[in-house]
Amino acid sequence: MALVPLREILEKAEKGNYAVGYFESWDYGSLEATVMAAEEVNFPIIAGFGARTFSRRDEWDERKLICFARMGKELIERSPVSISFILNESSNPLMLKRAMEAGFNCVMFDGSHLPLEENVKLTREVVEEAKKWKADVEGQLGNIPSLGEPVQKSDFTSPEEAKIFVAKTGISALAVSVGNIHMS
């Protein structure tokens, strides 16, 4: 089965009144185990890698990104279940472009640390690039702290800003801060 667009997976989940999980991998073994589990239960998923997987000090490892993208795309295309393949949580538009070129059919641009208008502008640019690759984009509003960091109401996503953000950017999905945390 070909990679399934995130937008399609989420629309079916909304109509069917069920949730779809995102499962982050760190290497071939963890991605393969994720895909095998989805196949065992015959359920759609969002699978992929976090941008930190490809980080090197103040830059990123493009060769590793390309290799993981091609490996993941090949594995997922051979699966009988619906899977969207995402590069998650990158604030680097070039990295996201390379990810889409190499096979990810979804990317997540994290501009949550930016002022709203700058986040809108950069997210919209990623969405425009994604159209060339027929890829979906997830954006983020609000600060999601890591484990051990305090959760503050000022970090929460404003529903009013979320409505504006989605309308102005054309994203397929939105990550929000509602008291949730990153585990690492």
Query: What separation, in Å, do the N-terminal and C-terminal C-alpha atoms of the chain show?
Result: 33
Closest alpha carbon to 4 in 65, 66, 79: 79
pLDDT surpasses 80 at 53:
yes
Kindly report the backbone phi and psi dihedral angles of residue 84, in degrees, each rounded to the nearest multiple of 5, phi listed first.
-100, 135
Q: What is the mean pLDDT of residues 96-102?
A: 98
**96 contacts 55 by C-beta, under 8 angstroms:** no
Q: What residues have CB less than 8 Å from 155, skipping those under 6 apart?
A: 142, 143, 144, 145, 177
pLDDT at 183 over 70: no
Nearest to residue 184, comparing CAs of 134, 142, 159, 147? Answer: 147
Q: Could you tell me the pLDDT band of residue 155, with boundaries at 50, 70 and 90?
A: confident
pLDDT category at 184 given cuts 50, 70, 90 is low
- Helices 28-41 and 62-77 pack at an angle, to 10 degrees, of 20
Report, as an integer, the average pLDDT of 74-82.
Answer: 96
pLDDT above 90: residue 148: no
**Confidence band, pLDDT 50/70/90 cuts, at residue 58:** confident
